[in-house]
Amino acid sequence: MKTQALAALIVLSSATFAAAAPAMQNVYARSGTTLDGKWHVIVDPYENGAYNYRRDPLDAAPNPTSGYFLDRRPRDRTDLVEYDFDASPTLMVPGDWNSQDDKLFWYEGTVWYRTRFDFTASPGMERQFLHFGAANYQADVYLNGAKLGRHVGGFTQFEYEVTGKLKPAGNSVVVKVDNTRHADAVPTVNTDWWNYGGLTRDVTLVETPRSFIRDYEVRLAPARAGAAARLALSVQLDGASGPTPVTVDIPEAGVRARLMTDAAGSARLEVPVRKLTFWSPQQPKLYEVRLSSGKDLVVDRAGFRRIEVRGNQVLLNGAPVFLRGISLHEENPLRGGRAYSEEDARLLLGWARELGCNFVRLAHYPHNEHMARVADELGLMLWEEIPVYWTIAWDNADTLANAKDQLTALIDRDRNRASVIVWSVANETPVSEPRTRFLKSLVDAARALDATRLVSAAMEVHVDPEDNNHRIVDDPFGAYTDLLSFNQYIGWYDGLPDKLDRIRWTFAYDKPVVISEFGADALQGMHGDALTRFSEEYQQDLYRRTLAMLSKIPQWRGTTPWILVDFRSPRRPLPVIQDGWNRKGLIGENGTKKKAFFVLQDFYRKDADSHAGGK
Ligand code: GCU
């Protein structure tokens, strides 16, 4: 399967990080033990647990004798050990530390996490993997005092094989999590969201047979005129000792395919399928897919749909569609902190459904896996993005490798989700040669990993120097994307809402125009006239005028206004009104809808689809 492209990317990235092997597909369908729960933690702003006073890394010593990763207890009363996980406070995993402890609300730096567990292998299961849904931002992982590796990137899964490294009792997993921001990181030092730190997603000890199905893809094969639909199946085994049979069963679609892997454990096959209900927001049909090989069985639910662009139209299953969207951050405002659970996904995507959406932009980084799986079920199309946000270090090869790592992990994880229709490689990045080269290389990587979805980014707009009411979208990066998507804040950062009535647009590309952001801050419950900033009436008026302006654009095919619900941001200090919240939500942090929510809902119910471009 795509191992060559993947291998090339890994080679590229391994030069920079001791990266973990690509995580296995569909970890939630595997057998294993959750390590979620209370973990003991040590807050370590000076990284005292990792470096000695000479700043030498303690885990670099051949037989380290100190360092919190050893999780050591004093041998006797004379033994000097200046930390004690058992006596230290605990934090819940999954979860960020900022919303769990007021003392850590603003904290950026290192926190050591430690859990202990006993282990007995399940029958027939000969291999074990320590799997992390995500850890923000850099995680150094240790098992029983030995380093397993380092993962960089706050929003992607990673795992380490620990077969043969586990003890029957008292296994110690220690993770040094550091969310310090760095200029050459992805994201870089400046963002408009809270830098939640910690083991933010599920941690699982996964068990598999000696040979198991590490990765697979089930999707609709490209259409052939007049030919019946076909499914493209591909699998990648891990641990097979030579060519091995794999069966793919999709009972409801009448598919039972037998594949034989090559010596490297990979196989692919296209099979005709007589009757198939295509996945769509109106009918989010999911099929049970059962993949088995030897002792291994992986069960998934997948939908089959086609997404493409034709001229300036977006086609879903061959028919023009308007993307009735909304943007959202991975945060549960009601509980506070990073969202991580299926319930969180149902809360947030449920609100999007209520708004009348068929599309959601998961901004600005890969959200947890539950989001795409719940979107599959609810019939919401998704835009997924990596945090190449604002002023990234464009000329830094490690930064590019990091961005590619995150893109690869995202595509690997969600490649079987029908809901995902767009891979976005960036947001609001200033036009320059190095920037466009960097982004082009991400587009190439995305297309190499997955040629079946659209690729885009939130691009730049500029004002006509001759005419302040004329906006031009001719970002050179637009030449490489499937959509022409950009953010615009006319009426909030750029003038007052009445300006929207006078604006005209010019686009350098005949591509579907998707407005990836527009909006205005409003404190829920604050009222005034339509010119009172931060009032619900101002936001309401801006939405009305923006939708009217956009409706005049012939190639307008969708939008994801900023944003579904208020979210935390360290860039929003205005007392009483913002208090550390970006208030551009259509829903307040307490879950109460603002007036503009109903303006957009009304538009989505009555007018939006007329802009799909179908005649
Ligand atoms: C930007 C950016 C968002 C930010 C928003 C805002 O466009 O992409 O991340 O939150 O504007 O200023 O509210």
The 10s digit of each residue's pLDDT in 274-312 is: 889 999 999 999 999 999 999 999 999 999 999 999 999
Cα separation of 157 and 382, whole Å? Answer: 19
Is the CB of residue 451 less than 8 Å from the CB of residue 506? no
Q: Can you tell me the mean pLDDT for 56-85?
A: 94
Residues 246-265: b if buried by 16+ CB within 10 A, e if exposed: bebbbeebebebebebeeeb
Q: Catalogue all structural domains in the chain, each as residue range(s) with its CATH number.
A: 6-208 (2.60.120.260), 224-305 (2.60.40.10), 308-611 (3.20.20.80)
pLDDT in tens, 169-200: 999 999 999 999 999 999 999 999 999 999 99
Which DSSP string do the residues of 77-102 spell out, in sequence order? TT------GGGS-EEEESS-STTT-G
Lowest mean pLDDT among 6-10, 103-107, 532-536: 6-10
Of the two residues 46 and 222, the one the predictor is more confident about is 46
Q: What is the pLDDT of residue 228?
A: 83
Instruction: Please check the confidence at residue 13 and state whether its pLDDT lies above 90.
Output: no
Angle made by CA atoms 403, 408, 413, in degrees to the nearest 5: 130
CA 193 to ligand 1 centroid distance, Å: 9
Q: Can you tell me the mean pLDDT for 102-130?
A: 98
Q: What is the pLDDT of residue 15?
A: 42
Instruction: Please check the confidence at residue 254 and state whether its pLDDT lies above 60.
Output: yes
Q: How confident is the model at residue 11 (pLDDT cuts 50, 70, 90)?
A: very low
Please give the biggest Cα pair distance in the chain. Answer: 84
Site to probe by mutation for ligand 1, drawn from 190, 487, 542, 577 as the one with most ligand atoms within 8 Å of Cβ, is 487
Site to probe by mutation for ligand 1, drawn from 192, 486, 492 as the one with most ligand atoms within 8 Å of Cβ, is 192
Give the number of C-alpha atoms closer than 13 A to the C-alpha of residue 28, restricted to the C-beta side: 13
DSSP state of 285: -
Question: Can you tell me whether residue 241 is helix, strand or coil?
Answer: coil
Q: Where are the alpha helices (DSSP H) in 355-396?
A: 369-378
Query: Which protein residue's CA is at the shortest distance from atom 3 of ligand 1?
Result: 192
Q: What is the pLDDT of residue 615?
A: 53
pLDDT in tens, 336-376: 999 999 999 999 999 999 999 999 999 999 999 999 999 99
CA 557 to ligand 1 centroid distance, Å: 21
Around ligand 1, the residues with Cβ closer than 6 Å are 192, 364, 427-428, 487, 517, 562, 582, 584
Q: What is the pLDDT of residue 12?
A: 37
Cα separation of 20 and 428, whole Å? Answer: 30
- Strand 146-152: give its sheet, edge to edge: 90-93, 37-43, 110-117, 171-178, 138-143, 146-152
Q: How confident is the model at residue 223 (pLDDT cuts 50, 70, 90)?
A: confident
Looking at the chain, the whole-number percentage of residues with pLDDT higher than 90 is: 93
Query: Which protein residue's CA is at the shortest distance from atom 10 of ligand 1?
Result: 192
Instruction: Please check the confidence at residue 1 and state whether its pLDDT lies above 70.
Output: no
Q: What is the pLDDT of residue 2?
A: 42
Q: Can you tell me the mean pLDDT for 448-469?
A: 97
Question: Can you tell me whether residue 137 is helix, strand or coil?
Answer: coil
Closest-lying ligand 1 atom to the alpha carbon of residue 584: 13
Of the two residues 615 and 17, the one the predictor is more confident about is 615
Q: What is the pLDDT of residue 5?
A: 43
Site to probe by mutation for ligand 1, drawn from 562, 574, 581 as the one with most ligand atoms within 8 Å of Cβ, is 562
**Residue 258: what residue type?**
R
Question: Can you tell me whether residue 389 is helix, strand or coil?
Answer: strand
**Residue 228: what residue type?**
A
DSSP state of 312: T
Q: Can you tell me the mean pLDDT for 480-505?
A: 98
Q: What is the bridge-based pairing of β-strands 467-473 and 504-507?
A: parallel
Q: What is the pLDDT of residue 8?
A: 41
3-state secondary structure 315-361: EECCEECCEEEEEECCECCCCCCECCCHHHHHHHHHHHHHCCCCEEE
Cα separation of 485 and 472, whole Å? Answer: 12
Closest-lying ligand 1 atom to the alpha carbon of residue 493: 12
Site to probe by mutation for ligand 1, drawn from 485, 582, 583 as the one with most ligand atoms within 8 Å of Cβ, is 582
CA 192 to ligand 1 centroid distance, Å: 6
CB count in 10 Å sphere of residue 298: 21
**Residue showing tokens 């920037």:** 435
CA 282 to ligand 1 centroid distance, Å: 31
Is the CB of residue 236 less than 8 Å from the CB of residue 246? no
pTM of the predicted model as reported, rounded to 2 decimal places: 0.96
CA 312, 317, 318, 323: dihedral to nearest 10 degrees? -30
Question: Can you tell me whether residue 19 is helix, strand or coil?
Answer: coil
CA 517 to ligand 1 centroid distance, Å: 8
Q: Can you tell me the mean pLDDT for 595-607?
A: 97
Is the CB of residue 242 less than 8 Å from the CB of residue 267? no
Is the CB of residue 416 less than 8 Å from the CB of residue 300? yes
CA 518 to ligand 1 centroid distance, Å: 9
CA 144 to ligand 1 centroid distance, Å: 43
What are the φ and ψ backbone dihedral angles of 462, each rounded to 5 degrees? -135, 160
Give the chain's end-to-end CA distance (angstroms, integer).
39
Q: What is the pLDDT of residue 569?
A: 98
Cα separation of 45 and 516, whole Å? Answer: 37
Question: Can you tell me whether residue 409 is helix, strand or coil?
Answer: helix
Instruction: Please check the confidence at residue 101 and state whether its pLDDT lies above 60.
Output: yes
Q: What is the pLDDT of residue 17?
A: 45
Q: Can you tell me the mean pLDDT for 6-34?
A: 67
DSSP state of 71: -
Where would I find the beta strands (DSSP E) of 417-503?
A: 420-427, 454-458, 462-464, 467-473, 484-487
pLDDT in tens, 533-581: 999 999 999 999 999 999 999 999 999 999 999 999 999 999 999 999 9
Is the CB of residue 105 less than 8 Å from the CB of residue 174? no
Cα separation of 402 and 400, whole Å? Answer: 5
In the structure encoding, which two tokens stand for residue 280, read together? 């769509």
Cα separation of 20 and 151, whole Å? Answer: 7
Instruction: Please check the confidence at residue 391 and state whether its pLDDT lies above 60.
Output: yes
Instruction: Please check the confidence at residue 107 and state whether its pLDDT lies above 90.
Output: yes
Query: Which protein residue's CA is at the shortest distance from atom 6 of ligand 1?
Result: 192
